[in-house]
Structure 1
Amino acid sequence: MPPVISIQNATKRFGTKTLLNSASASITDDHKVGLVGRNGAGKSTLCRAILGDEELEKGEIVLHPKVRLGYLRQHDPFIPGETVVEFLMRDSEQPDWRCGEVAARFEIKGAMLDAPVHNLSGGWQTRVKLTALLLHDPTFLILDEPTNFLDIRTQMLLERFLKSYKGGYLVVSHDRGFLKQTCNQTLELARGKLTLYPGTVEDYIEYREERKLHDQRVNDATKAKQKQLQRFIDKNRAGANTAAQAKNKQKQLDRLELIEIEEEETTAYIRVPQVDAKKGTAVRCEDLSIGYPYRMVADGITLDIEHGARTAVVGDNGQGKTTFLRTIVGSLDPKAGEVKWGHNTEVGVYAQHVYSSLPANDTVEDYLLSVRDPSVNHQQLLNVAGSFLFRGEDVHKKVKVLSGGERARLCLAGLLLGKYNILILDEPGNHLDVETVDSLCEALDSYNGTVIFTSHDRYFVRRIATQIIEVSAGKVTHIPSDYEHYLYRLSQEIDEEDGNQVATEAAGENRDAMMAKEERKQRNKEARAARKEVQKLESKIAKLDDERKELNAKLMSITDPGEAQKVHAKFTAVADEIAELEGKWLEFQEQLEDFDD
């Protein structure tokens, strides 16, 4: 079977870092490939190179002439005010009925088709982008971190879609559970080289370790044989009767070669706070209500979490998991009831509202020094920083220049350098590669304190959780069953949803959702026309505005009165034209606002 993607001796560098070093691999149209590698290894760069958006320094990527690549975009492709069906029709140039048909595969139905895209959660927006991808009828998919922002239910829906997809795909993900469910091949990018393995990521990791052990055993045997031969040669090379034998043994020795074993990439060293084990109740919620001044999220919450527990807080996106965590740590006031922490509890929090407010002018090293426990020495601090990818000169970077992912890693590193006996972790696996998540799991296994966390990474939850709390339908409750039973229940719910027929839209629902098909088609056509006019006007206004600025600058430097009068007249004419175009722009904007009502 000919390859649909052939990567041939690809080389790519960024500064002094080599991402691809004569890397080669071939992918056929039936391959379901999981692309794995350390953070910063170059996985996204490789995807962009396959798509033609990134140039290689050497080598080439050859696509089969009949392949049609589909790419799940990470950026936001939506226009403000645009509804789901309007975006899908604009992006795919397909009729509304076809857009609705494909959208239904991701549970986007009824009134949701006519909802503004920007009003949807990140997970639902990902569903919309997946729909748009399929409407282009690709033969091979490239999905870069598709599970970002997706709750477990939506991940399961995506898994089912990928399993039923007839073409091939390449998935970049750190979520080992998702890769295991969806991919039958593993492509690793490490030290600039590509290795394609015909099996799941877990099988590949096991194979890689077994191969390394095998090679080490072979090398040990080879070294022993080399020593044996060398002793014989040294003892017999000078003897008249044995010199010929020694010469023959030398030839044998020269033929022996050691297998080259690559050194392990730097393994994450994650230190957890060294605390004494405690017994009793860590935190108690009594008739607690959580939410915001304008909205109740959940009420009637009464539960205890014991010291030493590893409590996973689960539930669909938007149900209130983060609201619950923020309330129990005190960053959000309860609407009713109270939260009681046990005696001598020291609570450390890792969450977005924390790492988004780190001191901007501190360096990485400054921040870690300020939050570490006094028992942590400087070298231990640097080791932990390095495990979260702050190595060498990176420790001198200021917080204000760090990306969101880097700030998240810095906050988690600082938390683990403290002396907290309770850790509150909101999606701790985000921004961490497979190896670092493994190291975090091992570290938490040895932790004597209490862990309360949220995560959409099923591998991480399976490794860590000893009990489950579910946030759903306005309630927060302990689940008596284990995590596997919770996942099974979600799967059953999805089966039931798939089996149900789409209900008739209820009376009084969104007016646009109740429009007749032809009327909505006409409305969408008018909206697209208005939007095109707005774009044309914005382009003209921008060009004229640049011209006005040039004329104004020229006017300020002219000394000749006659020339100044001519430039001023032209400046006035341009300004008048801009005003006229802006008036038209406002008219079309008002039309678009009518369409969005």
Structure 2
Amino acid sequence: MPVVLSLQNAHKRYGHQVLLDEASCALADDQKVGLIGRNGAGKSTLCRILLGEEDLDAGEVVRSKKLRLGYLRQHDPFEPGETVMDFLMRDSGQPDWRCGQVAWRFALSDDMLSRPVRELSGGWQTRVKLAALLLHDPNLLVLDEPTNFLDVRTQMLLEHFLRDFKAGVLVVSHDRSFLNKTCTHTLELSRGELTMFPGDVDGYLQNLDERREHDQRKNAATATKRKQLEKFIAENRANANTASQARSKAKQLERLEMIEVAGEEAKVHFSFPRVEPRKGPAVRVEDLAIGYDDRTVADDIRLEIEHGTRTGIVGDNGQGKTTFLRTLCESLKPKSGELRWGHGCQLGVYAQHVYTTLNPKLSVLEYLEYQAAPGTTTLQIKSVAGSFLFSGELAEKKIKVLSGGERARLVLAGLLLEQHNILVLDEPGNHLDVETIEALSDALKRYEGTVIFTSHDRYFMRSTATDVIEVGGGRVVSYPASYDDYVYRVQQEIDQGLRDESARHPTDDAPAGPAKSQGRADRDAQKKLKSLERKIAKLDDEKKAINEQMLSATDAATATELQQRLASLTAELEGHEEQWLELYNEVEA
């Protein structure tokens, strides 16, 4: 597991904000690392530093001579009229058969390869960029928010790619579901420090809570012990018969140290205005056709959305989800048919890109005062601003200096100051950090009004939606099952599509030809791999159990014994992993 890129004693600040404070980390060519942190913590800055696009104030970035860095470009690298195949061949210098083999991993069919790449949707263009990345044979990929604006289908293809990728990956993402499925390690940037954890993001957050609770319990026990010693010393140091005991207790007292426990970072607190619960249909559409002057996106739409439901709109990019939401909000007129909202319905709308259209000259408080319903007091406005982490000097900041995540929070704060019983939200989770997305989901579940929303964040959708509407293929219909069922169906379609494409592209290293049958040696090697995988899994479970025991160990002897056992297990595990890797490379060859 050679380290190909590392950060050593890094310092970086912007004005009064410290982003990196003696931070260090190391990235190996076989680790898949998820980088997490609050909005504004400095994750994107860290990526630019690692890529060499920004300098440190102090410290060092060390790059191995073997480093081949790949970066998912956000800009448009395509030339006018260039087809997908033309771009892949130009960008990589590889022959067409090799480009085609890599392209099928992202479900880029032969027909798609001959199409002009700029005619494709943003999601399909991202697939093309990923295929181009792979053709350069990098041993470390840096992906900054790769799932933003990607539909579930493309996210799943990206997950397939990252799981099969035989080198290192650093992924910056707020999508917990995506990180759990793709990353084996978690790197957190918090308060200028970097912390690496050998596990997924759920495991890291759980471990963080457990360690914080353990340290707090230990500090409580230490505080009790200190009081007992201080009382004994005060009562006995003046007594000639017990003075020596008091001096001994004083030495014990000096050795007692409290563990520094970092408090939890401030969290956003959502609380949507209380509304009167209602029954019956909130909106009814009949024979509805939606679209634009030059084309119809979907027609023959018949459905109802009930008051009090949280309806998630699902479907691939470019199929019409935003068009449907715009029609519901009456910012886009129906092409035909009827759309009727119930009596007294008051809509609050969060548009997908609204945070990019805010007046940059306004301060946070000025924007919220403008959005607030008549009669809202300054105290109420400041209270809402504070609950969204805009308090004190932050409330006076101009919009032009806010990050994407801060602007998204600001728009949501403005919604809370208006009076609505219907919320229509188009991708509200984009640019929000993990904790804020969770807080938003919890608030929407407490909200007694009606919510109609779309999101590609599976964690947010799964935890929030009570009903599902699917948009695709010119139709908009109520999905007959749960969101989990929808995700399962999409996954099955992707797996089948990859199997079909794999049959057409039998190898990765040469033009397609007849598949070779595996011999006895291959089957034996596969059995050995399975055996080693079972041993590795068992040792992993033992390591987790010992780590849990170490959290509750109270005496030094037990802790030392557990530490020795853990070191022995780690060495044994590394040996098995090296055997597995050698055998796996032989099988692949």
TM-score bracket for the superposition, by shorter chain length: 0.7 to 0.9
User: 1:54 maps to what in 2?
Assistant: 54
User: 1:571 maps to what in 2?
Assistant: none
Superposed displacement of residue 156, structure 1: 0.5
Percent identity over the alignment? 62
User: 1:125 maps to what in 2?
Assistant: 125
Contact 2:107 2:501 in 1 (8 A): no
Contact 1:409 1:431 in 2 (8 A): no
Asked if 1:18 corresponds to 2:24, the answer is no
Contact 2:268 2:388 in 1 (8 A): yes
User: 1:558 maps to what in 2?
Assistant: none
Query: Equivalent residues in 2 for 1:371-520 (5 A)?
Result: 371-373=371-373, 377-386=377-386, 388=388, 390-399=390-399, 407-500=407-500
Superposed displacement of residue 372, structure 1: 2.1
- Give the secondary-structure state (helix, strand or coil) at the position aligned to 1:352: coil
* Distance 1:415-1:192 versus aligned 2 partners, 3 A rule: same
Q: Please identify the structure whose Cα radius of gyration is greater.
A: 1
Superposed displacement of residue 388, structure 1: 4.6
Superposed displacement of residue 391, structure 1: 4.8
Measure the CA separation in 1 of the matches of 2:211 and 2:15: 33
Contact 2:5 2:27 in 1 (8 A): yes
Superposed displacement of residue 253, structure 1: 0.8
- Give the secondary-structure state (helix, strand or coil) at the position aligned to 1:4: strand
User: 1:340 maps to what in 2?
Assistant: 340
AA aligned to 1:157 is L
User: 1:350 maps to what in 2?
Assistant: 350
Asked if 1:219 corresponds to 2:219, the answer is yes
Measure the CA separation in 2 of the matches of 1:46 and 1:174: 16
Measure the CA separation in 1 of the matches of 2:32 and 2:406: 30
Superposed displacement of residue 482, structure 1: 0.6
Asked if 1:93 corresponds to 2:76, the answer is no
Kindly provide the CA deviation profile for residues 206-239 of structure 1, in whole angstroms up to 9, marking residues without a partner as x: 1111111111111111111111111111111111
Query: Equivalent residues in 2 for 1:261-300 (5 A)?
Result: 261-300=261-300
- Give the secondary-structure state (helix, strand or coil) at the position aligned to 2:3: coil
Asked if 1:241 corresponds to 2:241, the answer is yes
Gaps of 5+ in 1: 505-597
Superposed displacement of residue 422, structure 1: 0.9
* Distance 1:268-1:501 versus aligned 2 partners, 3 A rule: closer
Contact 1:269 1:383 in 2 (8 A): no
AA aligned to 1:445 is K
User: 1:587 maps to what in 2?
Assistant: none
Contact 1:6 1:26 in 2 (8 A): yes
Q: Which stretch shifts more, 431-440 or 93-102? A: 93-102
Contact 2:39 2:406 in 1 (8 A): no
Q: Which stretch shifts more, 346-355 or 6-15? A: 346-355
Gaps of 5+ in 2: 505-589
AA aligned to 1:300 is D
AA aligned to 1:284 is R
Contact 1:298 1:476 in 2 (8 A): yes
AA aligned to 2:301 is I
Contact 1:151 1:456 in 2 (8 A): yes
Kindly provide the CA deviation profile for residues 315-359 of structure 1, in whole angstroms up to 9, marking residues without a partner as x: 000110111111011000001111111121111000136555545
Asked if 1:209 corresponds to 2:206, the answer is no
Measure the CA separation in 1 of the matches of 2:17 and 2:171: 24
Measure the CA separation in 2 of the matches of 1:227 and 1:8: 41
Measure the CA separation in 1 of the matches of 2:178 and 2:68: 24
User: 1:586 maps to what in 2?
Assistant: none
Q: Which stretch shifts more, 154-163 or 55-64? A: 55-64
Superposed displacement of residue 107, structure 1: 1.7
- Give the secondary-structure state (helix, strand or coil) at the position aligned to 1:500: helix
User: 2:576 maps to what in 1?
Assistant: none
Query: Equivalent residues in 2 for 1:114-193 (5 A)?
Result: 114-193=114-193
User: 2:103 maps to what in 1?
Assistant: 103
AA aligned to 1:448 is E
Measure the CA separation in 2 of the matches of 1:456 and 1:196: 27
Kindly provide the CA deviation profile for residues 246-266 of structure 1, in whole angstroms up to 9, marking residues without a partner as x: 111111111111100112222
Measure the CA separation in 2 of the matches of 1:503 and 1:139: 27
Superposed displacement of residue 8, structure 1: 1.4
Measure the CA separation in 1 of the matches of 2:151 and 2:192: 33
Superposed displacement of residue 83, structure 1: 2.7
Q: CA RMSD in A?
A: 2.2
- Equivalent residue pairs, number: 504
Superposed displacement of residue 380, structure 1: 4.3
Superposed displacement of residue 65, structure 1: 2.3
Measure the CA separation in 1 of the matches of 2:93 and 2:387: 47
Superposed displacement of residue 95, structure 1: 2.7
AA aligned to 2:488 is Y
User: 1:6 maps to what in 2?
Assistant: 6
AA aligned to 1:302 is R
Measure the CA separation in 2 of the matches of 1:407 and 1:265: 19
Contact 1:311 1:468 in 2 (8 A): yes
Contact 2:426 2:453 in 1 (8 A): yes
Contact 2:352 2:428 in 1 (8 A): no
Measure the CA separation in 2 of the matches of 1:225 and 1:376: 52
Asked if 1:68 corresponds to 2:68, the answer is yes
Superposed displacement of residue 12, structure 1: 1.4
Contact 1:352 1:408 in 2 (8 A): no
AA aligned to 1:432 is L
Kindly provide the CA deviation profile for residues 379-416 of structure 1, in whole angstroms up to 9, marking residues without a partner as x: 44334335555454443455567676654433222112
Contact 1:35 1:172 in 2 (8 A): yes
AA aligned to 1:217 is R
